[in-house]
Structure 1
Amino acid sequence: MSRRHATILASTLLLIGMLCAVALVRVPYSELSPGPTVNTLGEYDGDPVLSIEGRETYPTSGHLNMTTVRVTSADYRMTLGEALYSWLADDAAVVPHDSLYPDGTTAEEAEEENAEEFSQSQQSAKVAALAELGIPVPTRTVVSAVVKDSPAEGTLRAGDVIKAVDGTPVREPADVARLVTEHEPGEDVVFTVVPAKAAEAAEKAGEDPLTAGTREVTVATAPAEDDQRAIVGIQAGTAHTFPFDIDIKLADVGGPSAGLMFALGIVDKLTDEELTGGTFVAGTGTIDGEGEVGPIGGVTMKTRAAAAAGARYFLTPEENCATAAKERPDGLTLVEVGTMDDALEALRDIREDDTESLPLCTAAD
């Protein structure tokens, strides 16, 4: 074989090897891309996103769109070719797989976590919206989760209302951990609880769950693995009794980042003044019961989704502003918000066409 033919053969084999590597070799990366954007004031799959019963509602106009990010699943490994293509694409981002799914998170675990965060964001959105309108929302401390194989498993259940620990009234979730850790590991703790089913039945009947029948549950403490303090293996949280029904229907969406837009949508439906004045506004951000707006992931994918859908303004958590401003889509104004009040003030400026006073996102130096 001549040297020329040998060189061609070697180059061909090398090229075949490289193509095989691009097509077959899996790399530890995941892809982010713009996801669906849904108007919280409108419908999704034929059903209203927000439904309110038991309270007067008012007509709305314009858009208050929540935005999403498409993410490759926890059990999917991109090929080298897919990663290179996404890295070069304008509408996708490639990130380390472990940054999205740490500690070997499975697809099922990721779905469960996203669903739980989404459910919590809905609760926080309702609380923040009603607080903004001055509508009281009674709260209670509940068992939000029971650790598997812990002392509490089989005795306490998720949804149980915790009224007292060792006879001391519980007013907030932090009280539970404080009272339990006053014990030495191995000692018993007595919980006064309203069982989850009784609390749920009372709420459905329009009664205060705290007034339902109580029972005492004794749980032996165990030492925590990290610092040997006494624990029983529960996570305490807060549940709310809403004065009327607020239903949020949005399938196939997870995570906490729609909280702000849900809260704004609820306020819009419960007030006679239309928040947007007919303008297309989109946004993102977590929200807590006090109306604080928190940062989210994938903000540049969300601004691109909003712009593609036709949004003119994008409500952006202040901690995401610098990142979002670096890749701001043409025609989309990024408005910085840190609280529910900030968002409502921005919407007032937008509907009154006083946009010169809007706090705009700027890229960091």
Structure 2
Amino acid sequence: MSRRLRTIICGAIPVVVLGALVGMDHIPGTNISLTVPYAAEGPGPSFNTLGEIEGKEVVEIDGENTDPTSGNLNMTTVSVRTGMTVPQVVSRWAQGDSIVPLDTIFQPGESQEDVQERNKAAFANSETAATLAAMNYLHRKVEVQVVEVKPDSAAEGQLVSGDRIISINGTPVATPAEAQEQVSHYQPGEKITLDIKHQDQSRATLTLNLGENPDSPGKPLLGITMVSVPADGVRIHYNLNEVGGPSAGMMFSLAVVDKLSPGLLNGGKFVAGTGTISADGSVGPIGGITHKMKAAEDLGAELFLAPKDNCAEAMSQDHGTMVVAEVTSLSDAIQQMKAYSEGGDVRTCQSR
């Protein structure tokens, strides 16, 4: 065999081996991992909160006739890929994804399942905040509804899912935060009185002994999870089950307001956006905004609603002809959409 042929064969062997290992996460027959401690973040799926998914409205409202809607109010997401090999990381980076250390996604000792549960809880909280913010904007009253009663708690056998707590020891409560505040004034073992409205609208007065929070010794525990719901019988359901995190809050709230108020909030335009929402309507920053904007631009969005605190990052990349508006609250987002649809002045994001 000639020297040149031997050189070609010897040089080709590692290339072939590397190629064979690209799609593997470990060396066969061993426990040696080939993955690296990094994740790739890129544009994720986007959902029109005024539209449908799998035959159901993304934001479904029962108990009242809704106003017709048009156009789009798209929530945007970030896709996260983990368990990658070096070649896969390089490939994702070449496609425009951000490569970040795994510890920016996973907390110490946290598994992927833990992250999913944390994101699921954050998403559920964003739904509650979205409803409350929308009701406050529309000047509609809300009530505290029991979602789940924890086993072996003070509330077990006394409350059931669907019950509404009207007052605690005579003090009216309208939000879970107000209910928690009232409970915090007492000690474990002390009695409290709840004014309850059942699902059949009958009323009851319950007296129970508070338990102790196992995660905070000395702190009282009622033992329920709660949400705020409209007091007038309107029921709001959010039918996105495979999405996590809190960043859909603002777009959910906008969809609720659009369906329960006359006219088109978006002027029939294709609007996309992102941002957390608080009960008072404040819009907060989120992660991955450049990827969310890319997804919106690719879908043809005309206007993107961005939290004020994300504006500098948002303007760090080209966004084509899509207008990027700076928003600080639910009412602000509505005003910005009105200005855009009517050809007025939109307060756009500025690079810092």
Q: TM-score range by the shorter chain?
A: 0.7 to 0.9
- What secondary structure sits across from 1:212 in the alignment? strand
Partner of 1:361: 349
Tell me, yes or no, if the aligned pair for 2:130 and 2:249 is still in contact at 8 Å: yes
User: How far is 1:153 from its partner?
Assistant: 4.6
User: How far is 1:212 from its partner?
Assistant: 2.7
Partner of 2:108: 103
1:250 aligns with 2:257: no
Partner AA of 1:205 in structure 2 = D
Alignment of 1:168-183 (within 5 A): 172=178, 173-180=180-187
Tell me, yes or no, if the aligned pair for 2:189 and 2:209 is still in contact at 8 Å: no
Partner AA of 2:283 in structure 1 = V
**CA separation of 1:361/1:232 partners in 2, compared to 1, >3 Å: closer, same or farther?**
same
- What secondary structure sits across from 1:60 in the alignment? coil
User: How far is 1:18 from its partner?
Assistant: 5.8
Tell me, yes or no, if the aligned pair for 2:211 and 2:221 is still in contact at 8 Å: no
| C-alpha distance in 2 between matches for 1:216 and 1:48 | 40
Partner of 2:84: 78
- What secondary structure sits across from 1:32 in the alignment? strand
**CA separation of 1:190/1:363 partners in 2, compared to 1, >3 Å: closer, same or farther?**
same
Give 5+ residue unaligned stretches, structure 2.
26-33
User: How far is 1:215 from its partner?
Assistant: 3.1
**CA separation of 1:233/1:3 partners in 2, compared to 1, >3 Å: closer, same or farther?**
farther
| C-alpha distance in 2 between matches for 1:37 and 1:144 | 30
1:124 aligned residue (121, 126, 129): 129
User: How far is 1:317 from its partner?
Assistant: 0.8
Tell me, yes or no, if the aligned pair for 1:222 and 1:232 is still in contact at 8 Å: no
**CA separation of 1:121/1:233 partners in 2, compared to 1, >3 Å: closer, same or farther?**
same
1:216 aligns with 2:222: no
| C-alpha distance in 2 between matches for 1:361 and 1:347 | 14
Tell me, yes or no, if the aligned pair for 2:132 and 2:229 is still in contact at 8 Å: no
Partner of 1:323: 313
Partner of 1:336: 326
| C-alpha distance in 2 between matches for 1:97 and 1:153 | 37
Partner AA of 1:57 in structure 2 = T
- What secondary structure sits across from 2:142 in the alignment? coil
Give 5+ residue unaligned stretches, structure 1.
147-151, 181-186
Partner of 1:240: 228
Residue-by-residue CA offset, 1:143-192 (whole Å, 9 max, x unaligned): 9886xxxxx9544459685955xx68585223433433xxxxxx743344
**CA separation of 1:231/1:112 partners in 2, compared to 1, >3 Å: closer, same or farther?**
same
Alignment of 1:93-172 (within 5 A): 93-139=98-144, 153-156=152-155, 164=168, 172=178
| C-alpha distance in 2 between matches for 1:220 and 1:120 | 24
| C-alpha distance in 1 between matches for 2:198 and 2:277 | 25
The alignment-based identity, stated in percent, is 34
Partner AA of 1:306 in structure 2 = A
- What secondary structure sits across from 1:112 in the alignment? helix
Alignment of 1:32-111 (within 5 A): 32-72=41-81, 76-90=82-96, 92-111=97-116
Partner of 1:184: none
Report the TM-score when normalising by structure 1: 0.78
**CA separation of 1:203/1:344 partners in 2, compared to 1, >3 Å: closer, same or farther?**
farther
| C-alpha distance in 1 between matches for 2:343 and 2:19 | 55
**CA separation of 1:116/1:125 partners in 2, compared to 1, >3 Å: closer, same or farther?**
same
| C-alpha distance in 2 between matches for 1:176 and 1:328 | 50
Higher helix fraction: Structure 1 or Structure 2?
1
Partner AA of 1:291 in structure 2 = G
- What secondary structure sits across from 1:119 in the alignment? helix
1:29 aligned residue (3, 25, 38): 38
Relative to structure 2, which stretch is displaced further, 168-177 or 29-38?
A: 168-177
* Count of aligned positions: 331
User: How far is 1:345 from its partner?
Assistant: 0.7
User: How far is 1:331 from its partner?
Assistant: 2.0
Residue-by-residue CA offset, 1:223-252 (whole Å, 9 max, x unaligned): 95xxxx622467887532412122222232
Residue-by-residue CA offset, 1:236-274 (whole Å, 9 max, x unaligned): 875324121222222322222111111111111122211
1:313 aligned residue (260, 283, 303): 303
| C-alpha distance in 1 between matches for 2:87 and 2:223 | 44
Partner of 1:183: none
